[in-house]
């Protein structure tokens, strides 16, 4: 609980953060940038968990514990994604999204 | 009577079929020929031994020949209704064993010469084995269902052998025609069997044929359209028999079946398989005779008489020698049916039954001989047509003499075999039905005429200039000719009425001199006419044919029965019934299904670009969807 700041303001912040992530995910041409955007989306939700826990249910800890879980899973997921991207780079020598559409139709 | 060795008679040909069929390529032609001949020789010896045992060792008990049956239950439906497999030994089945084994053996010996050098030599003998097995099974059957099984088996072996030259389109077409036409007839047979088993609760010949049994005594208990149901069943069974025995109007397959190898024609389409229909009626004779005062039997008589006249007229005009013989076979089968049809049951009244079986027996010998003689001629001149023959008596003395004997026998000239059996048939028809007797005598004259037309056309007449001088056939082909010629002379002297009669008691047959004289007279007239027309080359025959004008043309074209069938099937059934149904099926049923499929393809072609393969496009779609759903939920929530 931060004095002087209401829950609405923080949720507005996380919403902005979330949609920045979405925008980045949809528009970036580089796979690494897309991965970073995903991290933004995840972090926005993690902040949401913590804030809602702190402001609405101050005497329990589920939201905080959950956010730690999400950070752990996100780390694993990022490492997986990075390894896929590295393999992709070895195969086609590029990490551009436009070069990875051979699976269409 | 110990029946176990009789089982070997059909099983040896079956073993031959399996061995020759499975090791087709591994067995050398010479070996397979000997295997076939020796196997059939054993069967023949066993058949003759069976006949000896049956007629002379067992003999008559209380004045009548016994029926021996050995069977096991194969399929059990109810306590009374079950399908058995087994062997039944009575006078006609023993007689048929003799006929089949003798002719089969002769054909096997003959085929070794006739089929020499043929590619499928071993296969040919395998098929002959299958046929012999099926035919033995047919005559030994103890019940209607077993006879039906073997009935179909002879049908399939006939199909295989007609279509033996499978590279010839005509042979394949003929095989299919034979199979389909007889299949239609067999359908009647099957329905007949089902009706009989439904009303009597049994398939068994002994139970059905028992004159005191419930099947015969209770025929009136069920009726259908003014006739007893049993009578209908018997008529349907006769349709099956008419199909196999080439009775009008189901005869159309027999002339075409001549596309098969000539030994096959001799065995299947002259001596054995085609008499199966006659045998079937004879097998159920007490039923035919006693149910509804013999209504079904009268149909048999008239169909037989008509077929015999019809075929004899066509035979006069044919130019393919095998077809003449085919129509002659049909005519003689009609004779047998006719004799059965006018027969009574007890004692001398059963002369028609006896005459029919007698004629079946003698006819098998001389008709097989005629076919083999024709085969020998075809072998020499490589043509089936009379115009390519003439004056062959100098080149082929043995064929000439044996063919002459057979022709005299079928023309009913004493003292050859055909005279005796034909005389009995004429006696039977004379005592029973003068109209049929008239037809029979007329046909006897026609028979003599067309046989001698054939004989003079082949062996006398004008000399054809042969490119290669024809020569007598090898010994393996002339030996069966000589044996059968001896039989054709001799078998007429068997006192048949002592052995094979409807009531199994037998009677003493006497030659009816006036009737015999009339028949021989007609035969001689036919013979002399043929002599005048064909012995020396002259145009009398042509002038005579022209005098008949359109009748002659009709007969030459077989009275357009084939065309009638084609008209009914192609123009009426195919065009008026099948074609609209096929149109509906193709247009609407298939059309709907195909339309659904085609539309799916078209739509997916159009929307497949949505799958761009770019992750971000999918994510955009997902986001858009989520936003829309969110808006919808919010909207619903707030109202």
DSSP string, B238-264: HHHHHHHTT-TTSTTHHHHGGGS-HHH
Q: Across chain B, what does the average pLDDT equal?
A: 86
Q: Contacts of residue B614 in chain A, CB cutoff 8 Å?
A: 97-98, 100-101, 104
pLDDT of residue A5: 87
Collapsing DSSP to helix, strand or coil, B480 comes out as: helix
DSSP state of B118: -
- Mean pLDDT (whole number) for B325-351: 87
CA dist B200 → A95, B80, B451 (Å): 88, 10, 46
pLDDT tens digits, B482-534: 998 988 888 888 888 788 888 777 777 777 788 888 888 888 888 888 888 87
pLDDT: which is higher, A79 or B427:
A79
CA torsion sign for B361, B364, B366, B367 is: positive
CA dist B211 → B83, B214, B264 (Å): 22, 8, 39
pTM (global) more than 0.90: no
CA angle B507–B508–B512, rounded 5-degree value: 125
pLDDT of residue B573: 85
Q: How far is A59 from chain B (nearest CA, A)?
A: 30
pLDDT of residue A41: 92
Q: How far is B639 from chain A (nearest CA, A)?
A: 23
Distance CA A105, CA B636 (A): 37
pLDDT tens digits, B111-135: 888 888 788 888 889 999 999 999 9
Percent of chain B topping pLDDT 70 = 100
> Which of A25, A34, A101 has the CB atom closest to B612's CB atom?
A101
Whether the CB-CB separation of B124 and B111 falls below 8 Å is answered with yes
Q: How far is B618 from chain A (nearest CA, A)?
A: 9
For strand B68-76 and strand B82-89, is the pairing parallel, antiparallel, or unpaired? Answer: antiparallel
DSSP string, A24-77: HHHH--BHHHHHHHHHHHHHHHHHHHHHHHHHH-TT--HHHHHHHHHHHHHHHH
Contacts of B339 (CB under 8 A, 6+ apart): B304, B352, B353, B355, B356, B359, B424, B425, B428, B429
Q: Contacts of residue B616 in chain A, CB cutoff 8 Å?
A: 25-27, 34, 97
CA angle B352–B60–B1, rounded 5-degree value: 115
Q: How far is B154 from chain A (nearest CA, A)?
A: 60
Quote the tokens at residue B392: 């062959």
> Which of B611, B616, B619 has the CB atom closest to A104's CB atom?
B611
> Does A95 contact chain B (CB < 8 Å)?
no
Whether the CB-CB separation of B369 and B490 falls below 8 Å is answered with no
CA torsion sign for B604, B610, B613, B619 is: negative
Buried/exposed code over B202-215 (b: 16+ C-beta within 10 A; e: otherwise): bbbbebbbeeebeb
pLDDT of residue B344: 81
Q: How confident is the model at residue B616 (pLDDT cuts 50, 70, 90)?
A: confident
Cβ-based contacts under 8 A for chains A and B? 29
> Does A22 contact chain B (CB < 8 Å)?
yes
> Does A34 contact chain B (CB < 8 Å)?
yes
Determine, for residues B613 and A104 on separate chains, whether the beta-carbon distance falls below 8 Å: yes
> Which of B613, B620, B623 has the CB atom closest to A102's CB atom?
B613
- Burial of B576 from C-beta contacts in 10 A (0-12 / 13-18 / 19+): exposed
Whether the CB-CB separation of B1 and B124 falls below 8 Å is answered with no
pLDDT tens digits, B181-208: 988 899 999 999 998 888 888 888 888 8
Determine, for residues A25 and B608 on separate chains, whether the beta-carbon distance falls below 8 Å: no
pLDDT: which is higher, B124 or A1:
B124
- Burial of B421 from C-beta contacts in 10 A (0-12 / 13-18 / 19+): buried
Give chain A's radius of gyration (CA, Å): 17
Peptide bond into B249 cis (omega under 30): yes
pLDDT of residue B511: 76
- Biggest CA–CA distance in chain B, Å, is 121
Whether the CB-CB separation of B246 and B177 falls below 8 Å is answered with no
Determine, for residues A101 and B608 on separate chains, whether the beta-carbon distance falls below 8 Å: no
Model confidence at B567: pLDDT above 70: yes
Angle of helix B144-162 versus helix B169-200 axis, rounded to 10: 180
Q: How confident is the model at residue B543 (pLDDT cuts 50, 70, 90)?
A: confident
Distance CA B22, CA B186 (A): 30
pLDDT tens digits, A5-47: 888 999 999 999 999 999 998 888 898 999 999 999 999 999 9
pLDDT tens digits, B135-152: 999 999 998 889 999 999
> Which of B611, B613, B619 has the CB atom closest to A26's CB atom?
B619
Q: How confident is the model at residue B69 (pLDDT cuts 50, 70, 90)?
A: confident
- Mean pLDDT (whole number) for B429-444: 88
Torsion of CA B121, B124, B125, B130, to 10 degrees: 160
pLDDT of residue B251: 87
pLDDT tens digits, B358-405: 999 999 988 999 999 888 888 888 888 877 787 788 888 888 889 899
pLDDT: which is higher, B307 or B558:
B307
pLDDT of residue B237: 92
The closest alpha carbon to B103, from B130, B135, B126, belongs to: B135
A7-98 carries CATH number 1.10.287.3510: yes
Q: Contacts of residue A18 in chain B, CB cutoff 8 Å?
A: none
Determine, for residues A105 and B613 on separate chains, whether the beta-carbon distance falls below 8 Å: yes
Secondary structure (H, E, C), B622-637: HHHHHHHHHHHHHHHH
- Beta strand spans in B462-593 (E): none
Distance CA B49, CA B41 (A): 12
pLDDT of residue B532: 81
Q: How far is A32 from chain B (nearest CA, A)?
A: 13
Length of chain A, in residues: 105
Model confidence at A75: pLDDT above 90: yes
Q: Contacts of residue B615 in chain A, CB cutoff 8 Å?
A: 34, 97, 100
Q: How far is A102 from chain B (nearest CA, A)?
A: 7
pLDDT of residue A67: 93
B288-292, B509-513, B577-581, B615-619: least confidently modelled range: B509-513
Q: Contacts of residue A100 in chain B, CB cutoff 8 Å?
A: 613-615
pLDDT of residue B287: 87
> Does A45 contact chain B (CB < 8 Å)?
no
CA angle B167–B184–B127, rounded 5-degree value: 40
> Does A35 contact chain B (CB < 8 Å)?
no
Q: How confident is the model at residue B596 (pLDDT cuts 50, 70, 90)?
A: very high
- Burial of B465 from C-beta contacts in 10 A (0-12 / 13-18 / 19+): exposed
Buried/exposed code over B32-65 (b: 16+ C-beta within 10 A; e: otherwise): bbebbbebbbebbebbeebbebbbeeeeeeeeeb
pLDDT tens digits, B477-495: 888 889 989 888 888 888 8
Determine, for residues A27 and B616 on separate chains, whether the beta-carbon distance falls below 8 Å: yes
User: Within 13 Å, how many C-alpha atoms sit on residue B592's CB side?
Assistant: 4
Give chain B's radius of gyration (CA, Å): 30
Collapsing DSSP to helix, strand or coil, B45 comes out as: helix
- Terminal CA-CA length for chain B: 103
Q: Contacts of residue A105 in chain B, CB cutoff 8 Å?
A: 608, 611, 613
> Does A74 contact chain B (CB < 8 Å)?
no
Q: How confident is the model at residue B153 (pLDDT cuts 50, 70, 90)?
A: very high
Q: How far is B623 from chain A (nearest CA, A)?
A: 8
pLDDT: which is higher, B431 or B602:
B602
Whether the CB-CB separation of B47 and B97 falls below 8 Å is answered with yes
Which of B604, B607, B613 to mutate: most A Cβ within 10 Å? B613
> Does B604 contact chain A (CB < 8 Å)?
no
> Does B601 contact chain A (CB < 8 Å)?
no
Q: Residue B6: count other Cβ atoms within 10 Å of its Cβ.
A: 26
């Amino acid at each position: 609980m931060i004095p002087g700041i209401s829950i609405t303001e923080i949720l507005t912040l996380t919403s902005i953060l979330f949609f920045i992530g979405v925008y980045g995910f949809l528009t970036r041409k580089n796979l690494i940038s897309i991965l970073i955007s995903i991290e933004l989306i995840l972090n926005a939700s993690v902040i949401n968990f913590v804030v809602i826990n702190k402001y609405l249910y101050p005497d329990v800890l589920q939201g905080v514990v959950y956010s730690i879980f999400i950070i752990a899973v996100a780390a694993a997921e990022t490492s997986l994604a990075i390894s896929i991207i590295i393999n992709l780079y070895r195969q086609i020598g590029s990490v551009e999204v436009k070069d990875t559409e051979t699976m269409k139709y | 009577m110990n029946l176990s060795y009789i089982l070997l008679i059909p099983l040896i040909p079956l073993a031959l079929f399996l061995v020759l069929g499975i090791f087709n390529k591994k067995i050398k032609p010479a070996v397979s020929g000997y295997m076939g001949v020796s196997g059939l020789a054993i069967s023949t010896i066993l058949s003759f031994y069976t006949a000896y045992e049956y007629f002379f060792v067992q003999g008559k008990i209380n004045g009548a020949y016994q029926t021996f049956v050995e069977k096991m239950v194969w399929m059990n439906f109810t306590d009374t209704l079950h399908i058995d497999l087994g062997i039944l030994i009575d006078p006609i089945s023993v007689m048929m064993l003799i006929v089949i084994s003798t002719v089969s053996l002769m054909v096997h010996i003959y085929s070794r010469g006739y089929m020499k050098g043929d590619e499928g030599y071993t296969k040919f003998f395998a098929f002959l084995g299958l046929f012999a097995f099926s035919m033995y099974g047919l005559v030994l059957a103890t019940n209607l269902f077993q006879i039906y099984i073997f009935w179909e088996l002879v049908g399939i072996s006939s199909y295989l052998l007609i279509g033996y030259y499978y590279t010839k389109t005509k042979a394949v077409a003929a095989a299919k025609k034979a199979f389909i036409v007889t299949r239609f007839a067999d359908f009647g047979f099957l329905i007949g069997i089902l009706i009989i088993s439904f009303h009597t609760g049994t398939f068994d010949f002994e139970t059905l044929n028992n004159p005191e049994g419930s099947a015969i005594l209770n025929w009136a208990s069920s009726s259908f359209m003014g006739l007893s149901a049993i009578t209908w069943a018997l008529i349907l069974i006769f349709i099956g028999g008419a199909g196999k025995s080439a009775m009008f109007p189901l005869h159309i397959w027999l002339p075409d079946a001549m596309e098969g190898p000539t030994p096959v024609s001799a065995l299947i389409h002259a001596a054995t398989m085609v008499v199966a229909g006659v045998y079937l009626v004879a097998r159920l004779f007490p039923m035919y005779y006693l149910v509804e005062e013999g209504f079904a039997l009268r149909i048999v008589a008239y169909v037989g008489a008509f077929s015999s006249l019809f075929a004899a007229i066509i035979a006069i005009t044919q130019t393919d020698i095998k077809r003449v013989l085919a129509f002659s076979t049909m005519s003689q089968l009609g004779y047998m049916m006719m004799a059965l049809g006018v027969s009574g049951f007890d004692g001398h009244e059963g002369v028609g039954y006896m005459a029919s079986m007698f004629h079946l027996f003698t006819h098998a010998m001389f008709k097989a001989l005629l076919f083999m003689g024709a085969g020998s001629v075809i072998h020499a001149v490589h043509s089936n047509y009379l115009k390519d023959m003439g004056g062959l008596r100098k080149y082929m003395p043995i064929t000439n003499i044996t063919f002459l004997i057979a022709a005299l026998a079928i023309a009913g000239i004493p003292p050859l075999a055909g005279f005796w059996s034909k005389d009995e048939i004429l006696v039977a028809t004379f005592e029973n039905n003068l109209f049929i007797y008239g037809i029979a005598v007329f046909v006897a004259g026609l028979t003599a005429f067309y046989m001698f037309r054939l004989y003079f056309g082949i062996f006398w007449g004008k000399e054809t200039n042969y490119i290669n001088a024809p020569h007598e056939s090898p010994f393996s082909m002339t030996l069966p000719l000589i044996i059968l010629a001896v039989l054709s002379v001799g078998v007429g002297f068997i006192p048949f009425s002592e052995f094979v009669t409807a009531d199994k008691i037998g009677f003493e047959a006497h030659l009816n001199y006036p009737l015999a004289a009339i028949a021989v007279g007609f035969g001689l007239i036919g013979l002399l006419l043929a002599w005048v027309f064909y012995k020396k080359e002259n145009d009398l025959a042509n002038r005579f044919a022209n005098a008949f004008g359109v009748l002659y043309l009709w007969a030459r074209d077989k009275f357009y029965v084939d065309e009638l069938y084609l008209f009914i099937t192609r123009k009426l059934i195919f065009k008026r019934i099948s074609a609209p149904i096929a149109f509906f099926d193709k247009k609407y049923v298939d059309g709907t299904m195909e339309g659904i499929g085609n539309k799916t393809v078209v739509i997916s072609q159009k929307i497949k670009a949505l799958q761009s393969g770019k992750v971000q496009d999918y994510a955009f779609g997902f986001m858009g969807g989520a936003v829309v759903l969110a808006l919808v939920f919010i909207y619903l929530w707030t109202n």
